[in-house]
Amino acid sequence: MKKELLTVKELAAELRMSPKSIQRAYRKEEIPMQWLGRMARFNLAKVQRAMEPNGRIRMRRLNGNSKQERATGGAQRRNAPRR
């Protein structure tokens, strides 16, 4: 039987991500989590649903289906007016 609530390390292993990336995502409230005392716990199904739209956007970008909206190589920063 699979555990319903996972720790940061268990979720990171399941999603093949680093624990730091998981911590960053829940601090930015990009993925849902629950507190059990002082420990963060995650429901794998809810996290996967929350991450799904981001995955679709990344795939569109990788496949070349999205427009590039920003300047590359720091061009925007170079052309910014100086103070």
Q: What CATH code is carried by the domain that includes residue 26?
A: 1.10.10
53 pLDDT higher than 90: no
List the structure tokens of 69.
Answer: 């909206």
Residues 6+ apart with CB under 8 A from 21: 12
Which pLDDT does position 19 carry in this prediction?
A: 94
Q: Count of domains in the chain?
A: 1
pLDDT band (50, 70, 90) for residue 65:
low
69 assigned to some structural domain: no
53 assigned to some structural domain: yes
**Once rounded to an integer, what is the mean pLDDT over residues 47-75?**
67
68 assigned to some structural domain: no
Query: How does pLDDT run across 12-43, given as a tens digit for each residue?
Result: 999 899 999 999 999 999 899 999 999 999 99
Higher pLDDT, 65 or 1: 65
Which pLDDT does position 39 carry in this prediction?
A: 92
**Domain carrying residue 14:** 5-63
22 assigned to some structural domain: yes
44 assigned to some structural domain: yes
29 assigned to some structural domain: yes
70 assigned to some structural domain: no
